[in-house]
Amino acid sequence: MDYREAGVDVEAGRAFVERIRSLVKSTHRPEVIGGFGGFSGCFQLPTGYREPILVSGTDGVGTKLKLAHDLDCHHTVGIDLVAMCVNDVLTSGAEPLFFLDYLATGKLNSEQLTQVVAGITDGCRQSGCALLGGETAEMPGFYQPGEYDLAGFCVGIVEKSQMLDGSQVQVGDVAIALSSNGVHSNGFSLVRKIVGQLPTTPSQGDGTTNWHACPELLGGRSLGEVLLTPTKIYVKPLLEARRTGIEIHGMAHITGGGLPENLPRCLSPGQSVKIDTTSWVIPPIFQWLAQAGQVSENSMFNTFNMGIGFVLIVPPEQADETLNWFKSQDVAAYQIGEVIEGTGEVVGIPD
């Protein structure tokens, strides 16, 4: 016997690495040191920093991968993987420098996984970070045929004096929300349960083709198309906003747990945020999920981002300037509330 008979095709793995070589190199920044395919990736710190702080983050895509598997569409989840990490690192005010991925599968499908890596490199280019390295693990018997799992790791940098840690936020500051692309990459266990309970016809078999349903609320688009829309990457417009002089006291990436869980993470002790849930447009996909799954309004806000992917905390005198600047960048922004005295809750979420 040999390794191939055990289910691991080493030659296919080498061919896959060669196939993605140009994709990876397309993301490289000037600070990348060395070639492609070594045991580790090397990166020289950018110049111009007096007290550089490195900021790291890691995340995955969760059960949204099930949807990618069902529809055999794998590019967008690669973007999701990068977005979930770089948006987290961004909340500290950091510029993402480099990204690494871990990709595990039962049997290497070069075409499928090249789509994933193409999405990862797309996300890296959108956020300005280099895909510095990664690992592709072939694990026979561990994953179902055609399935894979993803994890991502990001490192960014910020000047110590410019780092956001909650201490800059003041009572009276204003919360500015930036729109999401929809569900992004959280809450898909509930999404899959709702979609899986839709009526099916005999020709639909196990019900996975429910992703092709086109509810009227979605204006003719299919559930699969809407739900596979990748997580929005906020890095470049936000870093540029700070460079233009917009004063930002805090930032929150709205992921699993929605506004109630994530918005308080950028506050100082003794603070809360009071929001008005009628101050922004909630995308139709959330209305559909609430109706189809009979999900309460409170549960919706505690599970999904509800159309808000990122929140900035700014001084009240900068609110209009901030809104106008993001409008000029074609990023929908809304003034949704203000910082108040409290114990770390979001006031205004429906009961």
The per-residue pLDDT for range 116-127, each reduced to its tens digit, is 999 999 999 999
Residue 237 and residue 261 in contact, taking contact as beta carbons nearer than 8 Å: no
Residue-level length of the chain: 351
What is the pLDDT, as a whole number, of residue 49?
Answer: 95
Tell me the pLDDT of the chain averaged across its residues.
Answer: 92
What is the pLDDT, as a whole number, of residue 19?
Answer: 78
Phi then psi dihedrals of residue 107, to 5 deg: -140, 130
Burial of 295 (0-12, 13-18, 19+ CB in 10 A): middle
Residue type, 24: V
Q: Which residues have CB under 8 Å from 20's CB, separation 6+?
A: 114, 117
Pairwise CA distance, residues 52 & 156, whole Å = 10
Of the pLDDT bands very low, low, confident and very high (cuts 50, 70, 90), residue 3 is low
Pairwise CA distance, residues 119 & 79, whole Å = 5
Please give the DSSP secondary-structure letter assigned to residue 36.
S
What is the pLDDT, as a whole number, of residue 207?
Answer: 47
What is the pLDDT, as a whole number, of residue 200?
Answer: 64
Does the pLDDT value for residue 15 go beyond 80? no
Residue 103 and residue 134 in contact, taking contact as beta carbons nearer than 8 Å: yes
- pLDDT of 64-96, one tens digit each? 999 999 999 999 999 999 999 999 999 999 999
- pLDDT of 152-193, one tens digit each? 999 999 999 999 999 999 999 999 999 999 999 999 999 999
Q: Which residue reads 């994890």 in tokens?
A: 151
Task: Write down all domains in the chain, each with its CATH number in brackets.
Answer: 10-162 (3.30.1330.10), 174-187+229-347 (3.90.650.10)
What is the pLDDT, as a whole number, of residue 208?
Answer: 55
Q: What is the pTM of this model?
A: 0.93
Does the pLDDT value for residue 203 go beyond 50? no
Does the pLDDT value for residue 255 go beyond 50? yes
Task: Give the number of other CB atoms < 10 A from CB of residue 253.
Answer: 26
What is the pLDDT, as a whole number, of residue 351?
Answer: 87
Pairwise CA distance, residues 195 & 132, whole Å = 37
Please give the DSSP secondary-structure letter assigned to residue 278.
T
* Paired sense of beta strands 130-138 and 95-105, if any: parallel
- pLDDT of 204-246, one tens digit each? 444 456 899 999 999 989 999 999 999 999 999 999 999 999 9
- pLDDT of 136-158, one tens digit each? 999 998 998 889 999 999 999 99
Q: What is the mean pLDDT of residues 325-336?
A: 95
Pairwise CA distance, residues 63 & 50, whole Å = 42
- pLDDT of 59-69, one tens digit each? 999 999 999 99
Question: Torsion over CA of 110, 115, 117 and 119, rounded to 10 degrees?
Answer: 180
- pLDDT of 269-302, one tens digit each? 999 999 999 999 999 999 999 999 999 999 999 9
What is the pLDDT, as a whole number, of residue 288?
Answer: 96
Residue 304 and residue 349 in contact, taking contact as beta carbons nearer than 8 Å: no
Of the pLDDT bands very low, low, confident and very high (cuts 50, 70, 90), residue 47 is very high
